């Protein structure tokens, strides 16, 4: 469960990108955030993994207060969050699923043969337990 409570972000230049945003995402729910350019979508996502610091409000993920996490706790939390940036670090000739799974490479041992290949050619499937 992800809980966003009264989240506000005011950038240093005074732009109020988020104003008192609250919502909950239960486990298993798929949420899409749609809004005009500049409406604050990226700001919200960056606050959730604390790439930027919220001005006010709390972000609770599975009973852990992300807004209150230490650097070490944040490192552990971020290992469980996938984030794809819209402008860079994408391999354009690879499909979306390969770009997404590339983020797991840092947590797998390339010398150990996986019991099952993550992806077979032309067959998209979930990342499995890694
Ligand atoms: N680092 C920053 N410093 C100051 N203002 C910023 C910064 N980043 C974003 N903003 C401003 O905050 C507001 C929200 O921007 P944000 O990038 O979150 O919108 P977005 O919904 O992701 O837009 P897009 O659809 O274009 O990606 C905009 O007014 C933007 O100009
Ligand atoms: Mg954006």
The residue nearest atom 2 of ligand 1, judged by CA position, is 11
42 ligand 1 Cβ < 6 A: yes
Do 4 and 59 touch, CB atoms closer than 8 A?
Answer: yes
| Contacts of residue 74, Cβ cutoff 8 Å, sequence gap at least 6 | 50, 66
Range 22-30 average pLDDT = 96
The predicted-structure confidence for 11-25, as pLDDT tens digits, reads as follows 999 999 999 999 999
Atom of ligand 1 nearest to the CA of 44: 18
Q: What residue ranges define each of the domains in the chain, with the CATH number in brackets?
A: 2-78 (3.40.50.300), 84-130 (no CATH)
Mean pLDDT for 79-89 is: 79
pLDDT for position 121: 54
The 10s digit of each residue's pLDDT in 37-76 is 999 999 999 999 999 999 999 999 998 999 999 999 998 8
Spatial distance between the Cα atoms of 31 and 45, rounded to a whole number of angstroms: 12
Which of the two residues, 111 and 118, has the higher pLDDT score?
Answer: 111
Ligand number, closest to the Cα atom of 46 = 1
């Amino acid at each position: 469960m992800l809980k966003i409570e009264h989240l506000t972000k005011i950038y240093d230049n005074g732009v109020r990108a988020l104003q008192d945003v609250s919502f909950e995402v239960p486990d298993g729910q798929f949420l899409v955030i749609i809004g005009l350019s500049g409406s604050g979508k990226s700001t919200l996502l960056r606050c959730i993994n604390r790439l930027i610091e919220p001005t006010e409000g709390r972000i609770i993920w599975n009973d852990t207060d992300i807004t209150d996490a230490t650097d070490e706790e944040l490192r552990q939390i971020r290992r469980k969050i996938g984030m794809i940036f819209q402008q860079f670090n994408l391999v354009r000739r690879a499909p979306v699923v390969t770009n997404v799974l590339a983020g797991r490479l840092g947590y797998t041992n390339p010398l150990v043969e996986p019991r099952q290949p993550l992806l077979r050619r032309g067959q998209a499937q979930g990342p499995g337990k890694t």
